[in-house]
Structure 1
Amino acid sequence: MELQKNGFTWPPAYLVPQNMAYLESTLLRTHTPCPAEPVEKVARRMAEVHAELLLIHPFREGNGRLARSIADLMAIQAGFALPLYRFAGRDSKAEKALYLQSVISGYAQRYAPLTDFFVDAIERGARS
């Protein structure tokens, strides 16, 4: 069964085990536990893991929540406050749209927008 959303088709389900093994042996091995580094470097590590996990799309539902939980753990491992995502309340629609566009850029290994998204979320978390 192929999963699609908004015209995007994720890789076929039969590739999930192979793609997850590759993610584990590459990015997860080098990026976790996440070392204490400047926020931009940590956010870049978070963005890479986040986008690649979402591209694999191992579950029918909950991939975004899981990926954000992993990003949260990476931020905490690096000594930062829990990132604060504005997905509810005022400005949430714009924040969700920015997040989605950043994730889509990450699918093409253009991680800068998602890195910026995580820097902002970490800094918001530190202020709250």
Structure 2
Amino acid sequence: MRSIDLGKGGFQFMSPLQIEKNIRLFENEYLSRFNKLPEMTNEELVSFLAQSHVEFILIHPFREGNGRISRLLMDFLCSKAGNGTLDYSLWDEHKDFYFKSIQAGVNKNYQHIERLVRDIIK
């Protein structure tokens, strides 16, 4: 777990003092719904994946590898839902929009990241 303050491109991630509490909240809000993923409609799945991705990135629990782990987690969740893994090349091509979508999630505005998820889900 990260024990130092960390930011990227002028954006500060969650204080390390808040990580443990917020990881527990993340587990309760998102990971606890793992077995319900196959029952979700496509739009419910898009919202779930988008929100869980943003919330994990905002917590940013590790010094390195948060992006890779968050994508691996999305692939795992998406596979459980029966949709297989995702192709993130579109996100890589539009990094600025992706970063702004993550930042919008601070205010629980998930519409932009939902658009990105919708664009890559099979």
Number of residue-to-residue matches in the alignment: 118
Note the alpha carbon deviations across 1:10-67, whole angstroms, 9 max, x for none: 121122111111111222213x232243322111101111111111110011111111
Quote the offset at 1:109 in angstroms. 1.0
Structure 2's unaligned 5+ residue stretches are none
- CA spacing shift, 1:92–1:7, aligned 2, 3 Å: closer
Name 1:46's counterpart in structure 2.
49
Name 2:107's counterpart in structure 1.
108
Q: Comparing 106-115 with 41-50, which one deviates more in the overlay?
A: 106-115
Name 2:6's counterpart in structure 1.
3
Quote the offset at 1:102 in angstroms. 1.7
Counterpart residue type for residue 43 of structure 1: V
Instruction: Please tell me whether the aligned partners of residues 23 and 53 of structure 1 are also in contact (alpha carbons under 8 angstroms).
Output: yes
Runs of 4+ in 1 over 4 A off after TM superposition: none
Q: TM-score, length-normalised on structure 2?
A: 0.85
Aligned ranges for residues 1-128 of structure 1 at < 5 Å? 1-30=4-33, 32-33=34-35, 34-86=37-89, 92-93=92-93, 95-123=94-122
Quote the offset at 1:92 in angstroms. 4.2
Q: TM-score, length-normalised on structure 1?
A: 0.81
Percent identity between the aligned chains? 30
- Structure 1: distance between partners of 2:60 and 2:48: 19
Note the alpha carbon deviations across 1:58-110, whole angstroms, 9 max, x for none: 001111111111111111111113211116xxx944x2222222212222211
- Structure 2: distance between partners of 1:52 and 1:22: 10
